[in-house]
Amino acid sequence: MKKLWLFSLLCLFCTSSIFAQTSDDILVEQAVNQLLGKKTFTFVANRIITSGSNQSMLNQMNTMSVNKDTLTVKLPYSGKGFSSSDLGSSNPLQFTSTEFTYKVEVTKKGEKVITMDVKSPNGTDRFTFTLTVNKGVLARLLITGTSRSNMDFSGYITELGQDKANASK
């Protein structure tokens, strides 16, 4: 009985240490929270997720950057347009805009959900960007449009300007 009790106690300590965050994890999470709060960060997309839940790796630096009152989007678009103004061959997810709202919410799981309602510079497109940041740097970006099919990306959060430094390595 005593051995069983000691074994149970040992298992309890082992499992709690497995699920505990390290001090590095906590520092990373605090740094990301600070970037999100100051609205100065870059989302680097490294995968595109299609409607069939298939994932494709992205080869180039595909980013969405928020710098206080400016949103810069450089993401690929492979969806369909649903209006006659969408017949052009230009990528609707390549623009810089100052016309957007920014709202942060925290879920019960501790994820940060940032919702941005964005008006493209040409005025014809309106998008809702929903960025879900897990604890740490991993994130997922869902882009819904009024006249275009949805786009879904996964990637990570980095400090503004760090995406260019990482690309040159």
**Is 63 a domain residue?**
yes
How many structural domains compose the chain? 1
Q: Among positive and negative, which fits the CA dihedral 72, 119, 90, 146?
A: positive
pLDDT at 85 over 80: no
**Is 9 a domain residue?**
no
**Is 80 a domain residue?**
yes
pLDDT in tens, 98-114: 999 999 999 998 899 99
Buried/exposed 110-146: b ≥16 CB within 10 Å, e otherwise = eebebebebbbeeeebebbbebbbbbbbebbbebebe
Q: What is the extent of the structural domain holding 91?
A: 22-167
**Is 7 a domain residue?**
no
Mean local confidence (pLDDT), 51-74: 85
What pTM did the predictor assign?
0.78
| Three-state secondary structure call for residue 149 | coil
Domain CATH for 54: 2.40.128.410
**Is 13 a domain residue?**
no
**Is 100 a domain residue?**
yes
pLDDT in tens, 6-62: 455 445 455 444 455 677 778 888 889 899 999 999 999 999 887 666 678 787 789
**Is 139 a domain residue?**
yes
**Is 1 a domain residue?**
no
